[in-house]
Amino acid sequence: MRRLCMQITIGNYYTGNSGLHRLDPRVKFLAALGMMILIFCLHTSAALLAYGVFLFVLCLSSRIPLCKLARSVRSVLFLAGLAFIFNLFSGSGIILWQFYGLKITDTGLSIAVIVAVRLFYLVITSTLLLTAVTTPLAVADAMEKLMNPLIRLGFPGHELALIMSIALRYVPTLVTETDKIMKAQAARGADFDTGGLWSRLRGMVTVLVPLFVSAFKRAADLALAMEARCYSGGAGRTKLHPLRMKKADWLWTASFVVAAACMIALEIAWKKLM
């Protein structure tokens, strides 16, 4: 349980100077959103394979060690496995295997693979285009800038961006805090890896209670720190590093659009061939 907890890498930023690190956060945010929507539009094996190649190219461009990205993959393998199993026994079609009331069909197997691959791609896309190569502050700035038209209509865009930034920032902090609490409880004789489901859930109570107390204490400390710095919202605030689109940002934007168009074209062409 503790090992699985420490494999969660959502919110971890990896320092670097690659093209993806220098890319305008607005482009990365919109590209991540667009690519994650595209994942649900791809159904053929050829298009999904092409998306995998696209992610591999992004991985090379980010210059992030593969071992670090693998930690993000391991943390979602359990969910991908559950999604695969739940969809494996659904759907009609040619029966490939049958045992009592359970049966695996060609349609169910295809759906299970697609769902698991999509979940895998979603995590890698969000990691490569957002959390791993973009600081929480840059993500907040990008969201605030993109919501400027709504802010003029009275929508609290700055506050929403700040909430998202704080949430992303504190995910790795809470993971580290959870690990410390579990180590402390294990030293007192707590066992999280043996016994039935009910006993494990009762054991987790000894972790969740101090974790929530710690989270609320951190939230109170953060609120006091913001008040001490006279924070009163986004009105009238200026940026130390204003966001401006550069030539490289436009080139990256064009490359994302071309890649998405090619995958959609491949999806359509493959369906016609099949």
Range of the domain at 104: 10-134+244-274
Q: How many CB atoms lie within 10 A of CB 61?
A: 17
Any domain includes 67 = yes
What are the pLDDT digits (tens) for 163-199? 877 877 787 788 888 888 888 887 877 776 676 667 7
Instruction: Check residues 79 and 44 and name the one with the higher pLDDT.
Output: 44
CA–CA separation, 210 and 200 (whole Å): 17
pLDDT at 5 over 60: no
CA–CA separation, 124 and 58 (whole Å): 10
- Residue 252: inside a domain: yes
Distance of CA 65 to the CA centre of its chain: 18
What single letter denotes the amino acid at residue 273? L
Q: Is residue 103 part of a domain?
A: yes
Domain assignment of residue 45, yes or no: yes
Residue 46 in domain: yes
Q: Does any domain span residue 249?
A: yes
Q: 26, 146 in Cβ contact below 8 A?
A: yes
Asked if residue 119 belongs to a domain, the reply is: yes
> For 196-218, b where at least 16 C-beta lie within 10 A, e where not — what string?
eeeeeeebbebbeeebeebeeee
pLDDT of residue 123: 83
SS3 assignment, position 104: strand
Residue 233 lies in a domain: no
User: Tell me, what's the pLDDT at 69?
Assistant: 73
The upper half-sphere exposure of residue 73, i.e. CA atoms within 13 Å in the direction of its Cβ, equals 14
Identify the helix (H) or strand (E) that includes residue 243. Answer: none
The predicted model gives 18-45 an average pLDDT of 90
Q: Compute the CA torsion angle 247, 252, 257, 262 (nearest 10 deg).
A: 130
- For the stretch 59-111, pLDDT in tens is 888 888 777 777 767 767 777 888 888 777 776 767 766 777 677 777 777 88
**Total domains, the chain:** 1
